Amino acid sequence: MKSLLTLSFMPCHRIPERSLTVGSYQFPLCYRCMGIMLGMGFGIMVNWIYFRASLFMVLGACLLIPMLIDGYTQKWKWRSSTNFLRLTTGVMFGWGLAVEIVYVAQRLIALILSL
């Protein structure tokens, strides 16, 4: 139960200057991981209702690209990223993952029902 509350199962670096801090409490995820979780949660709900395969699959793939660019250019030390940019690209990436998850889930459900 404690690992669920502290999100210790998440593979996040938890660097203090890259995490949300309220008073003396540090949020257990960095801004990028928090954005991914928010984007996935919101994206799965919205995409399940309004899903259109052809349009959303292209959009989902496009939403993955900004975080990859942000993460790799920061890793290669070409530039430094801000917490706002990490959060924004994380939300976009999470939403893009949600598109893919909803697509696969709906296709698997259709396949199972057709058997």
| 41-84 per-position pLDDT tens digit | 988 888 777 766 666 778 888 999 999 999 999 999 999 989 99
Report the half-sphere exposure of 55 (CA within 13 A, side-chain side). 4
pLDDT at 8 over 70: no
* pLDDT for residue 25 is more than 90: no
Strand 25-30, strand 19-22: pairing: antiparallel
Q: What is the DSSP letter of 79?
A: S
pLDDT > 60? residue 99: yes
pLDDT at 18 over 60: yes
Q: What is the mean pLDDT of residues 76-105?
A: 91
pTM: 0.81
Higher pLDDT, 94 or 55: 94
Q: How far is CA 99 from CA 4, 30, 65, in A?
A: 25, 23, 14
H helical segments located in the chain: 2-6, 31-50, 53-75, 83-114
What average pLDDT does the structure give for the chain? 84
What are the Cα distances from residue 83, in Å, to 2, 34, 57, 58, 111? Answer: 27, 11, 28, 27, 42
When pLDDT is cut at 50, 70 and 90, the band that residue 102 belongs to is: confident
Q: What is the radius of gyration, based on Cα positions, of the chain? A: 16
